[in-house]
A and B are shown apart, each in its own frame.
Chain A
């Protein structure tokens, strides 16, 4: 087994501040290497350092050896495309939005490999067939789904003949069902070389096998065979990361529905159409007080639209929604948003926003402090604006604001999909617990069936 890539004490500095502590690793032929870590753990910096893509303000120390030779930056860049390639995080940013898929792949054959136009088109057509995009070869990226776009991006990136593939969060924003396909595709593409994957998703690390590195805040915490590390994690951080996977969560769903609880909302045979297309029809269910209802389905199937319709933000095209609780005020039907920063105005501090709410609805001040402790929100948070706090804190603050209004129904639209796994677990559990305590019904939308399975009393699959 030859060593394709070897890093010896590679560190990244900005000025004198160390962003990535010295790290050594070897990428061997046929043995995929996975780097696991949360946002801000420095894993993307490492990939950029390997490729030679670091911004000019950052400096690299240590030695990067490619194919057994230490190569300076400029020579590493000459290997791009032909020998090693880095896959983009978000395919939408990497593909030309105006160019048909097949031309984007053929271009690589033509200009990198120097083939004639006909040869290149034939090669591209064959590639797209292999990844199951034969029917969509003449579509533009905007007409493709996330998974299809990522497959197209992978085809284009690997058409140059590179066998050493660096993939930075290759499945970001993809549904679970699409995720496995992408990982398999990456495995087959790197069969003759090797694959270095950067991810926060334990499931991907498990699926890829090979070697595993766990990173935290620019530091290596654990290293070893993927199977061993994942099954017998030594470091407490690795343990927390593995425990944060929805599949490993403890069951908090109640086994049987509380028949005596009063019904909050009834939906009968509802259908929703958007832009002339019917997203779903004939959906019926009822939501009881204190119940957590999960909605699962692939992206674009109308999960969020269902929640918006229940809140009256979108019209339904057929069927009836009945709110049983007539005493509840309109402001007790609330929503938690997917992207916490976009749900707050950055013009004033969070404390001001909270005061606005307290003044508007005459909420008792003494309710705030215990709830903040419960949600693990520090007092100092209130002096900052929504851009200066983390996503997890902000989502918990959003829950705080909602709970102060004594909601009867809360629509949580993928409330944790933008958060790191460990944070996501905490926030989800808190939300479920508090909903049960306060008797608020929650409709939780998620693309992760495991998460819904573990936390919800009732599941609606669209």
Chain B
């Protein structure tokens, strides 16, 4: 599928790729590990030894940032893939499967919509604190609803269209009808939702880390690092700035990638 990208979408993509490369290099080439302490060198400013300085336990910020960014990307991508696949599949099924399926899915979706997303995620996070997989499950569960609603609304129009009816009458199967009629209609919206979804997943994980219910220490996670470095904001502001700037860059990159359409 060829989709022409605007200049701002290319910019968004390069910001994200840049962060990804940074994370990869950091994880592979750094001589330090994320939990290796050096209490003789705490709160050091950036130097040749520690490129981004050290935190309050003397751990290498460069290594920790690289791991944290990698973790955020992993969660964002996993959530986007899962929720978009689930939401799209169920959205199409709701239209195609007849009234009963549509009603049943409608009930589930309304229940999920009635609960604030962050509360659902907090609930899950409280069951198994510090688990990456439970966070992934909870965020995906919240996010698929959006894909479902958009896909269902567009698919309804496509199913009614003469073009789809014509293909159906000529004997084409459902997979063909999906490929030729439904997917081209929903693809732009799904891509846009996916880009926003990636940003939201990363923000959600950071928020949970910030209130200590997300990923637990000593693992490096952007929200957790923010709250850990918070007490040192006047002694070492460059440390606190690092996770904040990176979160902002990631969200910015995803939003640019989403393009103009909402």
Interaction A to B: yes
Q: Is the CB of A331 within 8 A of B171?
A: yes
Residue of A nearest to B172 (CB): A360
Per the bound structure, the CA–CA distance linking A330 and B169 in Å amounts to 7
Q: Is the CB of B170 within 8 A of A401?
A: yes
Per the bound structure, the CA–CA distance linking A220 and B197 in Å amounts to 58
Total A-B contacts with CB atoms under 8 angstroms apart = 49
Per the bound structure, the CA–CA distance linking A339 and B180 in Å amounts to 19
Residue of A nearest to B173 (CB): A360
Per the bound structure, the CA–CA distance linking A329 and B170 in Å amounts to 10
Q: Is the CB of B169 within 8 A of A311?
A: yes
Per the bound structure, the CA–CA distance linking A342 and B170 in Å amounts to 16
Pick the interface stretch among A30-38, A344-352, A371-379.
A344-352
What mask results when residues 168 to 184 of chain B are scored 1 for a CB within 8 Å of chain A, else 0? 01111000100011011
Pick the interface stretch among B96-104, B145-153, B158-166, B225-233.
B158-166
Query: B169 is contacted by which of A333, A347, A353, A360 (Cβ under 8 Å)?
Result: A333
- Nearest CB of B to A81, in Å: 38
Contacts A356-B176, A356-B180 hold; do A337 and B166 have CB atoms under 8 A apart?
yes
Per the bound structure, the CA–CA distance linking A335 and B171 in Å amounts to 13
Q: Is the CB of A342 within 8 A of B169?
A: no
Query: A343 is contacted by which of B163, B172, B180 (Cβ under 8 Å)?
Result: B163
Residues of A contacting B: mostly: mixed
| B166 neighbours in A (Cβ, 8 Å) | 335, 337, 343-344
- Nearest CB of A to B178, in Å: 11
Q: Is the CB of A405 within 8 A of B170?
A: yes
Task: Sort A-B residue pairs by CB-CB distance and give the 6 closest, nearest first.
Answer: A347-B184, A331-B171, A343-B162, A337-B162, A342-B162, A345-B180
CB within 8 Å of B: which of A338-369? 339, 342-348, 353, 356-357, 360-361
CB within 8 Å of A: which of B16-58? none
Q: Is the CB of A331 within 8 A of B170?
A: yes
Question: A56 at interface (Cβ–Cβ under 8 A)?
Answer: no
Contacts A345-B180, A347-B184 hold; do A361 and B171 have CB atoms under 8 A apart?
yes
Residue of B nearest to A312 (CB): B169
| B176 neighbours in A (Cβ, 8 Å) | 356, 360
Question: A313 at interface (Cβ–Cβ under 8 A)?
Answer: yes
Per the bound structure, the CA–CA distance linking A344 and B172 in Å amounts to 14
Residue of A nearest to B179 (CB): A347
Chain A positions within 8 Å of B, measured between CB atoms, are 311, 313, 329-331, 333-335, 337, 339, 342-348, 353, 356-357, 360-361, 401, 405
| B184 neighbours in A (Cβ, 8 Å) | 345-347
Chain B positions within 8 Å of A, measured between CB atoms, are 161-163, 165-167, 169-172, 176, 180-181, 183-184
Residue of B nearest to A308 (CB): B165
Per the bound structure, the CA–CA distance linking A25 and B183 in Å amounts to 52
Q: Is the CB of B163 within 8 A of A335?
A: no
Contacts A356-B176, A356-B180 hold; do A344 and B170 have CB atoms under 8 A apart?
no
Contacts A356-B176, A356-B180 hold; do A344 and B171 have CB atoms under 8 A apart?
no
| A334 neighbours in B (Cβ, 8 Å) | 169-170
What would 13 more interface pairs be, CB under 8 Å, given A345-B184, A356-B176?
Answer: A330-B171, A331-B171, A334-B169, A334-B170, A337-B166, A344-B163, A344-B166, A345-B163, A345-B167, A345-B180, A347-B184, A353-B180, A357-B170
CB-defined A-B contacts under 8 Å, sample of 14: A313-B165, A329-B171, A333-B169, A337-B162, A339-B162, A343-B166, A346-B184, A347-B183, A347-B184, A356-B176, A360-B172, A360-B176, A401-B170, A405-B171
Q: Is the CB of B169 within 8 A of A356?
A: no
Residue of A nearest to B183 (CB): A347
- Nearest CB of A to B163, in Å: 5
- Nearest CB of B to A385, in Å: 11
Q: Is the CB of A360 within 8 A of B163?
A: no
